[in-house]
Copies of this chain bind each other. A is one copy, B any other.
Amino acid sequence: MSDISAVKDALRRQHIETPSWAYGNSGTRFKVFAQPGVPRTPQEKIDDAAQVHRYTGVAPTVALHIPWDRVDDYGALAEYARAAGVRVGAINSNVFQDDDYKLGSVTNPDPAVRKKALNHLLECVDIMDATGSRDLKLWFSDGINYPGQDDIHARQDRLAEALSAVYERLGDDQRFLLEYKFFEPAFYATDVPDWGTAYAHCLRLGPKAQVVVDTGHHAPGTNIEFIVAFLLREGKLGGFDFNSRFYADDDLMVGAADPFQLFRIMHEVVRGGGYDEQTGVAFMLDQCHNIEPKIQGQIRSVMNVQEATAKALLVDADALRAAQRDGDVLAANAVLMDAYNTDVRPLLAELREEMGLDPDPIAAYLRSGYLEKVIEERKDGTAAGWGA
């Protein structure tokens, strides 16, 4: 896509969703370092998300997490978001923080626990009806810590049953996105540990069941862009949960650990049609900021995705195809690296000015005094967090 104006058009319509929980306190099992100015309510989280959109122009939606964002009137919450300049995006279910879920939620050996978990999932679809959300994100922490603890096979049966019930409940314009994770919090066997498992369940159910790729949820060395390419080819890539990691954690700012990998992923997205206007691929951030400021961290993350996307759009697809066809290994690699090595920051600064934004979102946000304001406003009350 050598035409710069076409690249800019594509970047202008980019849509990156930020997660409400990124604005609350979070940490590790060792310590949660609380930050000043953190939201106390879902509405305040939405206010913070609106700041990210205000300075980047490409983060128009915010994902909710139930029960962390539980309110009485979800329609009113959606209205609140619109008034703040954003919209409610995906609904994220949570079946991992109730004492009943110690040995699993939808895969628990106890049918009563399974029913409770399923009811929560169905409630999330009710919320989607109220907020107008298209996507239900399903992440199951379910798994076992010790060999023999439970029956791997039987747990898949239970999982299939729950997924089927949720699928049946979905409306015509609704989907669920099934997330996989290599491990944690289960330490021996996780019930949806890899893309193959998620894919097999989704394939059986139909087009409203799609796989979501969380970039932090893979075994060491896994080629994530291969999975992206494969799922796009199969029509089964529902979206991304973006974040990054050096080790097994999954909460660093996307692109912070391996910006080249993020570029390669976005290259496969573009190549496979996942960035086309009609695509159903959702681009979401799923990361929490343990030690860095939260709103600023989200702005930086959105910019990282933007930069990787811009580079991916700049790949000379014709030259690449020609070198690949000729079997010229170094020339083909060089085409890709040329795009990656390009400094796209001037292009993005220009684009922002055309969009009526400050060319430097971080500087503009810092100048705005928003953080100082909310630190003052929110100094009383209980800061939002995971409640772990």
Contacts and interface: CB of A to CB of B under 8 A. Distances in A.
Contacts of A195: 194, 196
Interface residues of A, number: 106
A161 interface: no
Closest 7 A/B residue pairs (Cβ): A196-B196, A148-B336, A219-B219, A248-B248, A28-B185, A343-B343, A220-B220
A43 B286 CA distance: 42
Contacts of A157: 233
B226 A31 contact: no
Interface in A132-149: 141, 145-149
A179 interface: no
A333 B148 contact: yes
Interface stretch (A82-90, A123-131, A258-266): A258-266
Nearest to A321: B151
B96 A30 contact: yes
13 contacts: A30-B96, A31-B96, A146-B333, A147-B256, A149-B324, A151-B324, A153-B271, A157-B233, A187-B247, A188-B246, A190-B226, A218-B219, A259-B260
A197 to B, nearest CB: 6
Given A27-B388, A28-B29, A156-B229, 19 more contacts: A30-B96, A30-B141, A31-B97, A31-B141, A146-B252, A151-B324, A152-B268, A183-B248, A185-B290, A187-B246, A187-B251, A188-B223, A189-B223, A189-B226, A194-B196, A196-B227, A256-B333, A292-B329, A341-B343
